[in-house]
Chain A
C-alpha cells in the first residue's frame, strides 16, 4: 500500500527529468563505445546465434545483412570455447524441454530402405480402415488430446481446448511457431514429437503444420535436395511418417493430420502441393491410425485461394490478412472437422 499522497502532476510529460547535470555525465563517445562493446561481446559469445537468426529469416536484404555479419561471427565463435562456457553457465535457464528420441537424421538412417527407394514395403493391416471393411469400431474415452504444429495450429488449439475442456478432455496446446518439418534448425520435429508423447501420453494428436516448409533437406546421399519435386516430397513424407509413427504409439494413439489450404501467394503453391501430397503418401500405410483431414476441400476448393467463404449462408472471412493462416472463424470451421473426426473414434 502506498504510504504517501499521490503527487499533483501539473505537466505529466516529465520532460525535464533528465535535465539535471548529474544525469548527463558522459559523452556520445561513451555511448558509442559502450554499445559497440556490448555488440562485440555478444558476437564473441553467441556469434552462432546471429548466424542462426540469419538462416531463419526470410530471403531478402535484411537476411543478407544479418548473414554477412552472422557467418564470420559464427565462425569466430566456433573457434572459441566461449559460447560453450556461456551455454553451460546459462543453459539451465532455458524454458525449452530437453528433447528425447530420434532426430530426423537418425530416423532417416533407420528408414534407409524407404528413403533410398529400394522398393515398396510390405502391406500390413494398418493400411486398412477397419470400419470400412466391416470391423466393429472400438471407441475409447478421450482423456488427453495434444494439439500441435507450427503457427497454423493456433488458434485452432484454443478453439479445440474451449470446446473439449468442458467435456473433461485434457487438451494440451503445444504450438511451435516458425518451425517446420523441413526446417530442423530451430527444432527437430522428430525429437520434439517423441518428447511430446513421453510428456503427455496423448490418446489423440491433432497436427497442423506447413507454413514454414520448402527448405532444402539432405537426401539419402547426404546432398541437399531442393523443394518441391518427388525427391523432396519423399524425404518430407518420410519425416512426416516418423512423426505419425511416434504419435500413433504402437496403436495407443490416433493422429489427425490437417492438410494445408492453398495460400494467396502463388509462389507458395508448389510447396503446399508437395507437402499435402507427402502427407497422403506418408499416411497411406496407417489408415487405421492416421486420419488425414482435407482443409483444401473446405477453404480452397479447386486449389483456388479464397479470403472469405460461405458459412451458414453468410460470406465470412476465414483467412488472416497474410493469406496463409486461418483466422478465428476459419479455425472454428477446422475445429468442426477435427471434432467430428474425433467423435468417430472416441467417446467424450
Chain B
C-alpha cells in the first residue's frame, strides 16, 4: 500500500482513530496495531507476511537464547546463526538472480555450465529494511545493550506500518521502549505530524515525480537521444528527485508516527549542504549510515587497526552499503566511489579544512551528483554511454523553467542556515490542528491534480 493512494487514505484515519481508542488498553492495542500493520503489508502480497513473521520469530528465539546464556562463545554463535539466517533471507530474495547470473557468466568463460537453477524470485517490498532492523535487535541483545522484549513487542517493532517498507531503520532501543507504556494522548505533535505529511507529499508527488517523468526517466532511459547539456541537467535533476522521493517518504513516515504518538529517528539533514563525504553520510539516510557504522565498520575494526586498515574498512563498508541498495554492479561501484571518497578524506585529515568552504561544498556536491549517475544507471554500459554523452554537444530540450525552478528550490532550501530549516516542526506546531487539517486537505487536492492518469509511481526506495 503506497502512502499517497486512496487505499491508504481510507486505511489510516480508521487505524489512527481505533489506535487512540484502544491505546489505554495495551493488551488490546498491541495485537490490534500488529494486525493493522500486517493488513498494510498484505496489500502488497499476503505471502510476504509469512516472511516477515518468520524473521520476527527466528530473531526472537535467537535473542531469548542469547539472553539466557552466560557463555560468551554460545552467545556469539547463536547471534551469528541469526545474522546468517537474516542475511540468507536477504540473499535469496534479493541477490540470488545476481549471484547465479555472475557465477554463470564466470563459469561460461571456462566452458562450464550453469551450476544453480535459474529462478525468478519476487522481491518482497521492505525486506532490506526489516531484516536490518531484525539484525540490529539480535546484535544489540548479544552486546547487552538491550534486553529481549516480548514477541508481541518485537513483532510490532519490525512490522509497524509507517516504517515497514522504506524505513527509517529504527533501532529496537529507540522504538520498543515507546511500547512499554501507552502513549500520552494529551501531548501529541499533531502540527508537526500533519506538516510533515504535507511536506512529504509535496516533495514526492509535485517535485520528485515531476522531475522523474519530465527529465530523469527520458534522459537515463535513452541517453543516446540527448546532448551533453541535457544529460548534465538530468544528473542534477536526479539528485533532486531521489532526495525528494526518499526524504518525502521519510517525512510522511515520521509524520504518521507522530500522529500515532511515536517518534522515529531523523533520516535526512539537508544532505546537499555537506562539506565532505563524511559530512554527507551524516546527513543522507542517516539511519543506514549508523547501521553500517555500528554493525559493519566498527566490527571490521573501524579505525583501531592502523591507517591502511581504516581505509580498507571504510571502503568495504561502503561497498557493501552500495550492494544493500540492489543486486547490480552499478550499486557496488556507487558504494565503492563513496568508500574511496571517505578514505581519501580520512587520509587528508585536517588538511581538508584549509580548502575554502565554498570550494569544499562545490566539490562534494558535484562528486555526489556524479555518483548518482552510477546509482541511477541500470548497467555499467549505460553509465558509460551517459557519462560520455555529457561531453557531447546538443540542444537543451529537457531544460525548462519549471524544472530549473524545482531544482533550485530543492538544492537552495538545503543551503539556508540549519537553525532556520530545523524550526519547521516548531513553527508549524503553533498553528491550530483544524487550520492545518483544512490546509492539508486543500494541499492534497492540489497535489492530487498533478498526478497523471497512471497514478503515483512507487517510491524509489521501495525497490531496495
Contacts and interface: CB of A to CB of B under 8 A. Distances in A.
A177 B457 CA distance: 10
Contacts, number: 235
Contacts of B213: 95
A9 B282 contact: yes
Contacts of A2: 273, 275, 357, 361, 415
Interface residues of B, number: 91
A7 to B, nearest CB: 7
A132 interface: no
A138 interface: no
Given A7-B418, A90-B445, A186-B454, A308 B118 contact: yes
10 contacts: A1-B361, A18-B263, A22-B430, A32-B16, A35-B12, A38-B437, A66-B7, A90-B449, A176-B453, A187-B453
Interface string B166-202: 0000010010000000010111111111100000000
A308 to B, nearest CB: 5
Interface in B411-464: 415, 417-418, 422, 425-426, 429-430, 433-434, 436-438, 440-441, 444-446, 448-455
B437 A96 contact: no
B5 interface: yes
Interface string A1-42: 111101101001111011011111111111111111111011
A12 B289 contact: yes
B222 A158 contact: yes
Given A14-B265, A173-B221, A317 B120 contact: yes
A314 interface: yes
B40 to A, nearest CB: 11
Interface stretch (A164-172, A225-233, A265-273, A292-300): A164-172
A171 B361 contact: no
Contacts of B123: 321
Given A15-B265, A31-B193, A95 B452 contact: yes
Contacts of A187: 453
Given A14-B266, A37-B437, A93-B450, A22 B426 contact: yes
Given A23-B426, A31-B433, A165-B225, A38 B444 contact: yes
Q: Chain B: interface secondary structure?
A: helix
A215 interface: no
Contact of A315 (B118, B121, B186, B430): B118
A17 B120 CA distance: 44
B101 to A, nearest CB: 8
Interface string A91-120: 101111000000000000000000000000
Interface of B: 5-7, 9-10, 12-13, 16-17, 20, 23, 43, 97, 104, 108, 114, 118-123, 171, 174, 183, 185-194, 210, 213, 218, 221-222, 224-225, 258-261, 263, 265-266, 273-275, 279, 282, 286-287, 289-290, 357-358, 361-362, 378, 382, 385, 415, 417-418, 422, 425-426, 429-430, 433-434, 436-438, 440-441, 444-446, 448-455
Contacts of B385: 162
Interface stretch (A43-51, A123-131, A334-342): A43-51
A332 to B, nearest CB: 12
Given A34-B194, A162-B222, 7 more contacts: A18-B192, A23-B425, A24-B429, A34-B436, A66-B6, A66-B10, A171-B225
Nearest to B7: A66
B185 A27 contact: yes
A53 interface: yes
A241 interface: no
Given A35-B259, A38-B440, A317-B118, A28 B290 contact: no
A15 B20 contact: no
Contacts of A26: 188-191, 429, 433
Given A7-B418, A12-B266, A162-B222, A39 B450 contact: no
A161 B382 CA distance: 12
B441 A42 contact: yes
Contacts of B445: 42, 45-46, 86, 90
Q: Which 8 A-B pairs have the closest CB atoms?
A: A161-B222, A90-B449, A28-B185, A13-B265, A34-B437, A321-B122, A53-B6, A24-B187
Contacts of A320: 120
A20 B422 CA distance: 14
Given A7-B418, A13-B287, A24-B188, A162 B224 contact: yes
A157 B12 CA distance: 37
A308 B119 CA distance: 8
Contacts of B426: 20, 22-23
A35 B16 contact: yes
B441 A37 contact: yes
A42 B438 CA distance: 10
A178 B455 contact: yes
* Residue with the highest number of chain A CB atoms closer than 10 Å, among B12, B187, B362, B430: B187
A49 B67 CA distance: 52
Contacts of B183: 28
Contacts of A12: 265-266, 282, 286, 289-290
A173 B219 CA distance: 12
A307 interface: yes
Given A18-B258, A162-B224, A94 B452 contact: yes
A62 interface: yes
B455 A321 contact: no
A321 B120 contact: yes
Contact of A35 (B5, B13, B454): B13
Contacts of A62: 7, 43
Nearest to B446: A90
